[in-house]
Structure 1
Amino acid sequence: MRTILVPVDGSESSNRAVKAAIKAAGEFGGATLHIVTVHPPIVSGNVKRFFSIEALNDYYQDEGRNALLSAKALLDEAGVTYTDEIAVGPVAQTIADVAKKKGCDLIIMGTRGLGAVTGFVLGSVATKVLSLVDIPVALIK
């Protein structure tokens, strides 16, 4: 059975990737779907000086839950089982790491996302993911 990773950020592009993953799972006769949202870490010393690690982690979790909402709604509506994850780190590298950790044999991702929030822009994150993994990556426009 195929294992598919779908990085999401709540954008229309990532929603189209989720729909493509649902379709692919059906065509494969079933698949294990993992959705992940990745937030780059806040590295500013000023922010860390005024906010505790716990407050920053709460922020990452809140933002992650919001980014996952539309993808989870699409998957629930389609009746597809999935796992979800909120991760913090360099976006492309973290996507590659999650794919490896989950034993994924395919990544389906959008080409453009919400910009500065997640960095999903073709030429940056998508291209970097392509260079970091040795599994197929389907880019959904």
Structure 2
Amino acid sequence: MKNILVPVDGSEPSLRALRAALTLAKDQSTTCTVHVLNVQAPIISNNVARFFTADVLDAYYQDEGKEALKTAKALLAQEQIPYQVHVTVGQIAEKVQAYIEEHDCDHVVMGTRGLSAVPGLLLGSATTKVLSRITVPITLIK
């Protein structure tokens, strides 16, 4: 493995997934980079654009993403593993798929539940959507 992607929303399952990815990266015989991705849900209301500029909205998304990644960054700082952290805006499954393609990720480690209020039957709705879109191996962490 060269690149492991870990979608992180700040929830405990996503942080457990990050810990698992760090362990997996350490066990590789070659250098492995851990990519941590936070996907912010877009503000859907069309009225928002009337009151806030695109720069203000982007700053808001980045601030929210940085807050969600605080604990993840602390975990990453403790390790001697190369990593990249990225915040983006959009639908999680689409953004995860695009990130995999753009950064040549060959494995995903993901928590089964996140902070979303939408319940899934067995898995979180974001996890289910990601599973349906990606073609690289995925490890789910409860």
Normalized against structure 2, the TM-score is what?
Answer: 0.90
Q: Which runs of 5+ in 1 are unaligned?
A: none
Aligned to 1:104: 105
Aligned to 2:43: 42
**What is the percentage of aligned positions where both structures have the same residue?**
47
Q: How does 1:40-79 map to 2 (within 5 A)?
A: 40-79=41-80
Q: Which runs of 5+ in 2 are unaligned?
A: none
The Cα offsets for residues 45-65 of structure 1, whole Å up to 9 and x where unpaired, read as 122221111111110010111
Point out the structure with the larger helix share: 1
The alignment's C-alpha RMSD in Å is: 1.7
Q: How does 1:1-141 map to 2 (within 5 A)?
A: 1-29=1-29, 30-116=31-117, 122-141=123-142
The Cα offsets for residues 27-68 of structure 1, whole Å up to 9 and x where unpaired, read as 223411111100121120122221111111110010111111
Which SS does the other structure have where 1:65 is aligned?
A: helix
Return closer, same or farther for 1:120/1:71 CA change in 2, 3 Å cut-off.
farther
Normalized against structure 1, the TM-score is what?
Answer: 0.91
Q: Distance in 1 between matches of 2:138 and 2:37?
A: 15
Q: CA deviation at 1:2?
A: 2.2
Return closer, same or farther for 1:114/1:47 CA change in 2, 3 Å cut-off.
same
Aligned length: 139
Which SS does the other structure have where 1:115 is aligned?
A: coil
